[in-house]
Amino acid sequence: MNIENNIRKITENLPEGCRLVAVSKTQSPEKIQMAYAAGQRIFGENKVQELLQKRPALPDEIEWHMIGHLQRNKVKHIAEFVNLIHSVDSGRLLEEIDRQGARVPRVIPCLLQIHIAEEETKFGFDAVEVRDLLLSERVAEMKNVEVRGLMGMATYTEDEEKIRMEFRNLRKIFEDLKTLALPGNVRLTELSMGMSNDYRIAIEEGSTLIRVGSAIFGERN
Ligand SMILES: *Cc1c(COP(=O)(O)O)cnc(C)c1O
C-alpha cells in the first residue's frame, strides 16, 4: 500500500469543486502523517475518543471532519476544533451542536445526513423531514451552527446503477432544498457522497466531498 500514490491517483482526477476527505478511522498517527506529507489536509474520523487521542500528535493544519454517528453527550469534546460534522441525523443533535458552539464560542459547520440507502440500519432524515427541519423556527434561531449541505451513503452493493440512482436522489433532494426560502444560517453548498467503492459514481452525480478510507490506507482490520 503506497498511501502517497493512492492519494495522488484519487486527487488528480477530482473535478473542480470536489475535495477528498481521507477517512483515517482505525489508522495510526504515522499513517495519517504519511498522507499529510503527500499533501492531504482533510481527515475524517467516526469516533470522538479516537479523534481526541490522535489529534495532539498531528499537525494543527489538519482539518478534522466528523463523519460517523455522533452522540449528543460527545459534542462538547469536539466543539472547539471540528471543521465539519457530516453526520447530523436529528434536530436534537443539531440543537446540542448549537449549544456547544455558543459555549466555545464559534459557528460550527454541519451537514444533515439523509437516508438514501435500502438498508434499515443507516441513520438519517428523509426528504420531508429535512425540509421541515430547515424551514423550522428552531433552526432559524440557531446562532452557532451553519448548515452547509447534505451527506448520504449509498447501499453497499455491486449494482452500480442502484448506487447511481441513490446518489441522484440525494442530489435531487439537495437541489430542491436550495429553491426554498431558507434562513441565513443555512447555505447549501456541500454534497458529501462517495466512499472507496463508489466515489467515481458520486463524482459524476455531483459530489463535492468524497469520503475515502480503504482506497487510500488499505483494508481496515
Ligand atoms: C468508513 C467510512 C467511510 C470510508 O469507507 P471506505 O469504504 O473505507 O472508503 C466513509 N464514510 C463513512 C461515514 C464511514 O464511516
DSSP-derived secondary structure letter, 20? E
Residue 94 — pLDDT band, cuts 50, 70, 90?
very high
Rounded Cα gap, residues 90 and 95, in angstroms: 9
Best mutation site among 23, 40, 216 for ligand 1 pocket (most ligand atoms within 8 Å of CB): 23
State pTM to two decimals. 0.97
What is the tens place of the pLDDT at every residue in 12-56? 989 999 999 999 999 999 999 999 999 999 999 999 999 999 999
DSSP count for the chain of H helices, then E strands: 10, 8
User: How many Å separate Cα 186 from the centre of its chain?
Assistant: 16
169 has pLDDT over 90: yes
Best mutation site among 6, 46, 193, 217 for ligand 1 pocket (most ligand atoms within 8 Å of CB): 46
Cα–ligand 1 centroid distance for 140 (angstroms): 31
Residue 219: count other Cβ atoms within 10 Å of its Cβ.
Answer: 9
Rounded Cα gap, residues 49 and 78, in angstroms: 10
**What average pLDDT does the structure give for the chain?**
96
DSSP-derived secondary structure letter, 44? E
Cα–ligand 1 centroid distance for 47 (angstroms): 12
